[in-house]
A and B are shown apart, each in its own frame.
Chain A
Amino acid sequence: MFNKTDVIETIDMIEKEHLDIRTVTMGISLLPCIRESAEKTAQAVYERVVKQAEGLVPTAEQLSREYGIPIVNKRVSVTPVSLITAAFPEKSPLVARALDRAAATLGIDFLGGYSALVHKATAEYEKRFLSTIPEALATTEKLCSSVNVGSSRSGINMDAVKRVGELVKETAALTPGGLGCAKFVAFCNAVEDNPFMAGAFHGVGEADCVINVGVSGPGVVQHALSFAPDADLTEAAELIKRTAFKITRAGQLVAKEAARRLGVPFGVVDLSLAPTPARGDSVAHILEELGLEAVGGHGTTAALAMLNDAVKKGGVMASSRVGGLSGAFIPVSEDIGMIEAAERGAITFDKLEAMTCVCSVGLDMIAIPGDTPASTIAAILADEAAIGMVNGKTTAVRVIPAPGKKVGDTVNFGGLLGRAPVMPVHTGSAEKFISRGGILPAPIHSFKN
């Protein structure tokens, strides 16, 4: 009738190993909200988001109780706002605040999509939109913002990269402790169906309204590996695949059911291992379980490559549609293993960069000295975007130049955002390189037609 072992395994995963659905994210197109003025557009945006997503929080809570699995975040992603406010870009913060009000009305955790896609060029309206991002982040609570600065097909828009460096500094100055930077990410090869923040937005190629689900469960993978201390890496990869399959099946179930009850199409399951600052919910500890003394040491990149691949292979089999970022996240402040390794100096900025070559995203939630120049932040992004462009993967930068903080200090973001020791960055200037601007050409292997 039922398999006792399976029942106990599921309950242990949820109660002892932090298995959860990290997010149910509703993607909503804002294209029908464009009006002749910013004020009317903001009102239309508020009304549409509240109407489309009114059932999101109650439905997610109901599913959570029925299946006995926590659904940690309920979120909304919207069409990149730069497209909605193209006729009056300076007034985009009105839409930002309308979205934030909608988020408060709905009781959701975050709303993403205060975004611009400028990977090939920055149009005039986009330049003016980009300038509003610091104000938008400083005057809202739940709004997240992102910019796509490059792609494998188009190359890297280095003028946009330079501008993002400045925007990060401005945002840090305008928000207490630089917290606004935790809600801002710059991408290369941004995906249109990502349910995770800060980079979620609803692409223009998407349906009018969809449900995307992000799963989690690094603790479950670590726990499974702890029973196979002597397994070789082939066997370990198999074990991770099997575990990722189970985790993703839970996500698929919730995604399909949420979509059905809300009467909107199911989009994708994002097969990510997303850590939290809680002990037992760490991607870093999985890598250490595989045999590394400390994450950040030699061998870390190889271990992460294996983990990331095994998560994808196990997850793809478990879901009818996968998408988003799908892989292992390595945010520093949101992972207790990363935090402790950074505090001990075991993991460095350069090793994190190497790890982003093989994980699913990029340099994430890293506190850097408050006096880091904008050109250095832009150069960090240029490096990261180059990795993404050449390797045909998504990469991203979310760094926090914490005002007044220096190496050795710690920045506390609170909640799921965690805490981060300020990490040193290279001090050699990239000013001249960054000020050149232009387009960094796409690699020859991107011409696939």
Chain B
Amino acid sequence: MRAVVTVTGTDRKGIIAQVSAFLCEKNINILDISQTILGDQFAMIMMVDASECTEDLASVSAAAAEMGRDIGMSVRIQHEDIFNAMHTV
């Protein structure tokens, strides 16, 4: 099952490292990354594969949000279907 990770907030050092470490710890594989800085705003979108993750996506998503709060960023993990449903016919 694939999911989309989005990370937004004020840019600082180590964001990608921390998010990647979190995903690795959950046994989630990163398939694709897009990252950009607008002014001082950091924005990253990742496509990940969570099929080897043993936790359900709802709890990983809650843990990601909490990890995000710890590092002062908004971190979301959402099932890819919500994007596919809304943007493809």
Interfacial residues, chain A to chain B (CB-CB below 8 A):
1-4, 6-11, 61-62, 65-69, 246, 249-250, 252-253, 257, 317
Contacts and interface: CB of A to CB of B under 8 A. Distances in A.
Contact of B6 (A3, A7, A257): A7
B83 A62 contact: no
A67 B87 contact: no
12 contacts: A1-B31, A6-B86, A7-B83, A61-B58, A65-B59, A66-B56, A66-B61, A66-B79, A67-B81, A69-B78, A246-B87, A253-B85
Q: Is the interface of A mostly helix, strand, loop or mixed?
A: helix
A385 to B, nearest CB: 38
Contacts of B19: none
B70 to A, nearest CB: 18
B4 interface: yes
Interface of B: 4, 6, 31-32, 34, 43, 45, 47, 56-59, 61-62, 76-83, 85-87, 89
Nearest to B81: A253
Contacts of A257: 81
Given A1-B47, A7-B45, A250 B86 contact: yes
A252 B32 CA distance: 28
A6 B83 contact: yes
B87 A62 contact: no
Nearest to B31: A1
Contacts of A7: 4, 6, 45, 83
A246 B86 contact: yes
Given A65-B57, A65-B61, A67-B78, A10 B45 contact: no
A68 B85 contact: no
Contacts of A9: 87
B83 A10 contact: yes
Contacts of A246: 86-87
A250 B6 contact: no
A10 B34 contact: no
B56 to A, nearest CB: 7
Contacts of A253: 81-82, 85
Given A2-B45, A66-B57, A257-B81, 11 more contacts: A4-B34, A6-B86, A7-B4, A7-B6, A7-B83, A10-B82, A10-B86, A66-B58, A66-B78, A68-B61, A253-B85
A10 to B, nearest CB: 6
A65 B76 CA distance: 9
A389 to B, nearest CB: 37
A245 to B, nearest CB: 8
A62 B56 contact: yes
A7 B31 CA distance: 16
A26 B59 CA distance: 24
Contacts of A67: 78-79, 81-82
A249 B6 contact: no
Contacts of A11: 6, 76
B61 to A, nearest CB: 5
Contacts of B31: 1
A317 B59 CA distance: 33
A246 B80 CA distance: 15
A2 B86 contact: no
A250 B86 CA distance: 6
